[in-house]
């Protein structure tokens, strides 16, 4: 009834046998190594903090956690990414102590949290400048917010119209669930106007990652994209942005974000389920205080202006 397809079953057998042997060897090695590490790890920490959420924030959150654990070996902090929505959902279901988010909580998420018996509390932990990037060979150095908005809604379709070469413009964006996408849409494309219903042009390329954007910007002289300042690599060219035609074009940097002259920057958040207690409170206080010293090294903007306000 069934026909043998393989002319050399013996070869297959050896392959499978080899794989099995290799697999079991690895498994044995893993088992042997395990007790040592877990014994060393489980000795010190008493208190644990679960921290989950935004992929934008994950590197910064990791840096904070590592530094804090060095100073306080009695605290163990585990940081995972997965996205703002994932982190907030985990906080609502009470499986994490702190959720990281690159956007504000949506009303329905707050309702869901209140249904579970607590009011989420918002903490701004750093700021992120959104840089507009083009290919290094693109001669365009500066754009106004209005021009960027027109480009992303296809009112401007050729680089010639904004002082560049005669090339079609290819629009790049992050995926629609990223906090960066929502911020860029509301504050750049809609120019921060309430009730403005403009959307990204349908042929905007939605890239699943920052690497997707940087690869396309690097290779394609037609492309324009945007991303967090910390994710802009040296092979992309940042465009200086002006609020309107009469104001100066400003490049994003820690200085220009803090003095407010660079117009496209957003807050990054941590959310706690209710008023934080004990170690979580001490940790958050540190993040908002001394922890700010780490922010700039990861390409984000520390909360200098906020501290001046206080």
Partner 1 sequence: MRKGSMSGWGEFVVETLVRVAGFSAIGFVLLIFLFLLREGVPAFFEVVPGNLFGTRWYPTFDLFGTLPLVLGSLLITITAIVIALPLGVATAVFVREVAPNWAREILKPMIEVLAGIPSVVLGFFGMTLVAPFVRQVFGAPTGLTAFTGALILAYMALPTLISVAEDALDAVPRSYRDAALAMGATQWQTIWRVVVPAARSGIVTAVLLGMGRAIGETMAVMMVTGNAARMPLTLDSLFRPIRTMTATIAAEMGEVAQGSTHYHALFGIGIILFVLTFVINLTAASALFQKRRRGGLR
Residues found near partner 1 in the complex (CB under 8 A) = 3, 5, 7-8, 82-86, 88-89, 106, 108-109, 167-170, 175-178, 181-182, 185, 197, 199-200, 202-208, 212, 215-216, 219-220, 222-223
As beta bridge partners, residue 129 has 265
Contact 235, 214 (CB under 8 A): yes
Per DSSP, helices labelled H in 106-177 are 107-115, 145-152
Question: Nearest approach, Cβ of 177 to partner 1 (angstroms)?
Answer: 4
Minimum CB separation from partner 1 for residue 150, in Å?
A: 17
CB of 292 to partner 1, least distance (A): 27
CA triple 132-134-137, angle to 5 deg? 150
Structure tokens at 287: 């993040």
Minimal distance in Å, beta carbon 297 to partner 1?
27
Q: How far is the CB of 169 from partner 1 (least distance, A)?
A: 8
- Tokens 């106004």 map to which residue? 144
Structure tokens belonging to residue 183: 């911020």
When the beta carbons of 201 and 304 are compared against partner 1, the nearer one is: 201
How far is it, in rounded angstroms, from Cα 94 to Cα 105? 16
Least distance (Å) from partner 1 to the CB of residue 215?
Answer: 6
Minimum gap (Å) between residue 19 Cβ and partner 1: 12
Q: Based on CB atoms, which residue is closest to partner 1, 83 or 252?
A: 83
In the complex with partner 1, the residue whose CB is nearer, 205 or 240, is: 205
3-state secondary structure of 103: coil
Report the residue number, 14 or 278, with the smaller CB distance to partner 1: 14
Q: Which is nearer to partner 1, 151 or 207 (CB)?
A: 207
In the complex with partner 1, the residue whose CB is nearer, 83 or 291, is 83
Among the listed residues 126, 88, 125, the one whose alpha carbon sits nearest the alpha carbon of residue 283: 125
| Cα dihedral 14/20/25/28 (nearest 10) | -160
State which residue, 18 or 293, has the beta carbon closest to partner 1.
18
State which H helix or E strand residue 280 sits in.
helix 278-288
Helices (H) then strands (E): counts for the chain: 10, 10
Tokens describing residue 292: 């700010």
- Residue 162 has a CB neighbour count (10 Å cut-off) of 18
- CB 175 to partner 1: min, Å: 5
Shorter beta-carbon distance to partner 1: residue 92 or 143: 92
- Identify which of 211, 304, 209 has the alpha carbon closest to the alpha carbon of residue 254: 304
The residue among 221 and 299 lying less far from partner 1, judged by its C-beta, is 221
Quote the CA–CA distance of 87 and 78 in Å, as a whole number: 13
The 3-state secondary structure of 243-261 reads CCCCCCCECCCHHHHHCCC
Shortest approach of partner 1 to residue 184 CB, angstroms?
Answer: 12
């Amino acid at each position: 009834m069934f026909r043998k397809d393989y002319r050399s079953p013996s070869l297959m057998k050896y392959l499978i046998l080899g794989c099995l042997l290799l697999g079991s060897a690895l498994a044995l090695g893993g088992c042997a190594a395990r007790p040592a590490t877990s014994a060393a790890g489980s000795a010190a920490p008493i208190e644990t903090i679960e921290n989950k959420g935004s992929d934008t924030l994950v590197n910064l959150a990791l840096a904070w956690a590592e530094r804090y654990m060095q100073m306080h070996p009695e605290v163990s902090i585990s940081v995972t990414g997965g996205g703002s929505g994932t982190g907030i959902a985990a906080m609502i279901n009470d499986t994490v102590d702190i959720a990281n988010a690159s956007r504000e909580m949506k009303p329905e998420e707050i309702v869901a949290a209140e249904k579970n018996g607590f009011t989420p509390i918002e903490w701004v932990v750093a700021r992120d400048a959104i840089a507009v990037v083009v290919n290094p060979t693109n001669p365009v150095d500066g754009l106004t917010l209005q021009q960027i908005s027109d480009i992303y809604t296809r009112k401007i379709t050729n680089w010639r119209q904004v002082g560049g070469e005669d090339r079609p413009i290819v629009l790049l964006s992050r995926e629609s669930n990223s906090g960066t996408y929502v911020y860029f849409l509301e504050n750049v494309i809609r120019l921060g106007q309430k009730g403005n219903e403009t959307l990204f042009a349908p042929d905007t390329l939605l890239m699943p990652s920052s690497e997707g954007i940087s690869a396309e910007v690097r290779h394609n002289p037609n492309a324009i994209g945007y991303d967090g300042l910390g994710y802009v690599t040296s092979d992309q060219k940042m465009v200086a942005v002006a609020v309107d035609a009469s104001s100066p074009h400003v490049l994003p940097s820690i200085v220009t974000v803090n003095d407010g002259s660079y117009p496209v920057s957003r807050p990054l958040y941590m959310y706690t389920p209710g008023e934080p207690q004990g170690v979580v409170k001490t940790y958050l206080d540190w993040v908002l205080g001394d922890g700010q010293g780490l922010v700039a090294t990861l390409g984000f903007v520390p909360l200098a202006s906020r501290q001046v306000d206080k």
